[in-house]
């Protein structure tokens, strides 16, 4: 169910699997494709060290980004999208 007013949603993105930047771009595109939703702002992409990951992933650095969206979707509709 959608609501009429617009709400801001803040989403944290991250990938440690190549192509890391490509996965971030795909995630941004997918979020922007939600109905009644658009990206308002996004942070720079930051590379970070892995924290609290299984040993086999300890050598894989992450790319992370924050995306701010405006959406008319309700919280449950927004969070259930794929």
Which residues touch 57 (CB under 8 Å, ≥6 apart)?
16, 50
| pLDDT of amino acid 64 | 98
Measured at the CA of 68, the angle between CA 82 and CA 30, to 5 degrees, comes to: 25
pLDDT, residue 30, reads 97
Q: What is the pLDDT of residue 82?
A: 80
Per-domain residue ranges for the chain? 2-65
Task: Check: pTM over 0.85? Answer yes or no.
Answer: yes
Rounded to an integer, what distance in angstroms lies between the CA atom of residue 6 and that of residue 50?
35
User: How many residues can be counted in the chain?
Assistant: 82
Q: Average pLDDT across each block of 10 residues of the chain; the chain has 82 residues. List them in order.
A: 76 97 98 97 97 93 98 94 85
**Predicted local confidence at residue 5, as pLDDT:** 87
């Amino acid at each position: 169910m959608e609501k009429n007013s617009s709400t801001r949603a803040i989403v944290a993105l991250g990938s440690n699997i190549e192509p890391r930047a490509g996965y971030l771009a795909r995630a941004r595109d997918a979020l922007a494709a939600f109905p009644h939703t658009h990206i308002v702002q996004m942070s720079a992409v930051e590379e970070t060290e892995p924290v609290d990951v299984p040993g086999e992933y300890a050598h894989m650095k992450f790319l992370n980004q924050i995306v701010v969206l405006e959406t008319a979707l309700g919280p449950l509709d927004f969070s259930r999208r794929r």
